Structure 1
Amino acid sequence: MNTETLRAIETVAAARNAADLFGPADGSPRVGRREFRRLAALLHPDRNAGDPAVAAAFERLVARYDEWRGPAGVVSGRRGRYTVIGSPVQGSVSAVYAATSESGDRVAIKVSRSASSGRFLERERAALRRLRALTDRPENTWLAPYFPRLLDTADLLDAGSGTTRTADVLSAHGAAEGFVDLATVAAARPEGLDGRDWAWIHRRLLRAVAGAHLAGLVHGALVPENVLIHPEGHGVVLAGWSFASAPGEQLPGRIASRRDLYPPDANEPASAALDVYMVHATMRTLLAPTQRRQLAFAAGCMQRAPRMRPAAVALLDEYDDLLEDLYGRRRFRPFPYTVSA
């Protein structure tokens, strides 16, 4: 690590807030943008592969920059106005802000990182509308809790560049609502989960994936960061629909930091088999190594050839049979771990 990179790490670590790095929020956008680019060039993971200190500093830098140029105060959507609360949570192509509606309801505002990444939020809008149409049918209403709701949309003018960024207003599934993503769970439990505690998560996750396929969608990014769980209420929400595709389309992108969870056919036209592989790759990363029967089940769903992977809907009963064989009659088991978002 050279001296410039070390100083950049120290600069980011010492910053108490975004203004310490980029100047006041009402200051010069050009100066703030220039400083971000300078630090990002020094700390970019492609330049410092495998260095965890640099990776952490880069992640913190991006978070501070999103905070600095994020929506200030109130966001005006097409259906209402929303008051932004606190700092954003980082996504692969967007930042997510907690907010409240005019009626006081909590919502999430997802803002594209740049004008060019707005196309991914457009895909998410289309996917969530398709899922809404599916779950509005009386026979499918039970699927609705597994998906976020698109409540409103907005366009935000970036004062620094003069470009417009896309924003979606979504139902809130954050820490305040009791949710946590599986990446946070994995970090808190590096030894892996007991199979009994994974069981309720996977049962619900399979239902969410089967529902998406019924709606004619391939999620395309089934990674731990996009699976939200409610440990107390045993809820699961499948989020992160920015890379959703119709079967037969090419995926519009991939999450670079999660290359290991994509199947060998990720470069081929998207299919439901891609989601089946990814959800079980995620399963494999969360389970403790001692959970051999469930890990074998996951391996059986991760065949190299897409045509050899079972459909998600076919796995619903198969997985329930495995759980009954392993643990007997189903009973509620409180999530025994303390996990904070």
Structure 2
Amino acid sequence: MTIKEFKCPNCGRALPETTRANALLKCPACHSTLLISEFTVGDAKDAVAVATPTRVYSVSKLLTKDDICTVYKCAFKADDQEWTGMFRIATDPLDNDLVEQEAKTLYHLQSAHNFDQFRPFLPSVLESFLYSDSTGIPARQVNILTMHAHIASPSELFNLEEVRGYYTGGIHPKDMAWMWRRLLNVLGFVHNSGVIHGAVLPPYVLIEPKDHKLALTGWGFSVRFPKSGTGIPMTAISMPYESWYPPEIKAKQVPTPAADLYLAARTMMYLIGTDPLRDDPSHHTLEPELGKYFARFFHENPVRRPQSAWDALDEFDQLIESIWGPRTFRVFTMPTKN
């Protein structure tokens, strides 16, 4: 494989073409001092080595495919330890811009002063680059992402499509509750950072069942939402979930945080086994008070929907404690992945 372009892991700007291994480099854009080291990772069966100026990645197991990327497990060595991450490559070169947008948004979030507080919920970008190989396929964008250290491997994670596939009748609302709480918490940070995610949908919400961890992926559809001035309409949506999107997105209007909350609430209704496209959620396991709470997220007019994820979280906490009493940990299981 031939690497076409290398970017600073801190700001995402292109590094000079003269970059070499085993040398110090100052990024011309953000002025970060980078140590460019050449590591060798132990060979894995059927693994492919991908070398960049900063690391050598051993790309192996196919993890998943989403709307825009094919995702592989990768390993690399740093600080005398072996780490794992996700090698996300555009499935179609026509989607390179969306994969690049994913990296731009994550670089932006990583620069937030309180990013460390929300790091467990978000992937981080190690590198973003174009590459081509001997197949003759045009160069495709690659993002190397890592999860928080408390997630030992990406293979520990299940997306909510997988969860719903295993729990064919839907999960209990008390299990949905911890996922909803964590999702609202990270969305509050994202919106406060001036970003609309644009695809808070089952394939892009990942959980680790044992310890109730959650991570939000799928940032290629994201757009900036400035606190002042005018934002921009979304340039792409997740086509398999086109019918889930709120009216303002279908009308090419500028999205607000209400659009993300609309999709997130539909995803929760899908999880408990009800029709995610109903605007008046009801299910035999869902208390009427919770049905009324979620119905507010589906109003046709975004101005009349909740706009603050953190306010929605506070309201939800008060509501479930009034219904169920003090929160307690519930064991949640999924089958072991091969």
TM class, shorter-length: 0.7 to 0.9
Residue in structure 1 matched with residue 116 of structure 2 by the alignment: 141
In the other structure, the counterpart of 1:155 is 130
- CA distance, structure 1, for counterparts of residue 175 and residue 137 of structure 2: 49
Equivalent residues, number: 267
Equivalent residues in 2 for 1:284-323, closer than 5 Å: 284-288=269-273, 289=283, 290-292=285-287, 293-310=289-306, 311-323=308-320
Query: Which residue matches 2:156?
Result: 178
Judge conservation of contact 1:264–1:304 (CA < 8 Å) in 2: yes
- Does residue 167 (structure 1) correspond to residue 139 (structure 2)? The answer is no
Secondary structure of the residue aligned to 2:218 is coil
Equivalent residue for 2:262, pick from 277, 281, 299: 277
214, 236, 242: which one pairs with 2:214?
236
What is the alpha-carbon distance in structure 1 between the residues aligned to residue 152 and residue 216 of structure 2? 13
Partner of 2:194: 216
- CA RMSD for the aligned pairs? 2.0
Query: In 2, Cα distance between the equivalents of 1:206 and 1:77?
Result: 36
Q: Give the % identical residues.
A: 25
Moved over 3 A (4+): 172-177
In 1, Cα distance between equivalents of 2:52 and 2:322: 51
Which runs of structure 2 are paired with 1:259-278 in the superposition (5 Å)? Answer: 259-266=242-249, 267-278=252-263
| In structure 2, C-alpha distance between the alignment counterparts of 1:280 and 1:322, rounded to whole Å | 16
Counterpart-to-counterpart distance in 2, 1:318 and 1:166: 41
Choose from 44, 50, 56 the match for 1:81: 56
TM-score normalised by length of structure 1: 0.74
Which of 40, 49, 67 aligns to 1:92? It is 67
Give the structure 2 partner of residue 256 of structure 1. 239
Kindly provide the amino acid, as one letter, of the partner of residue 241 in structure 1.
Answer: W
- Richer in strand (by share): 2
Distance between the aligned counterparts of 1:245 and 1:128, measured in 2?
Answer: 11
Using the TM superposition, give the Cα deviation of residue 276 of structure 1 relative to its aligned residue in structure 2, in angstroms.
Answer: 1.0
The structure richer in helix per residue is 1
Counterpart mapping for 1:45-124 below 5 A: 73-103=48-78, 104-124=82-102
What is the TM-score with the length of structure 2 in the denominator? 0.74
Inter-partner Cα distance in structure 1 for 2:298 and 2:207? 23
Measured after TM superposition, the shift of residue 183 of structure 1 is 0.6
**The 10-residue stretch of structure 1 (238-247 or 86-95) with the greater mean CA deviation from structure 2:** 86-95
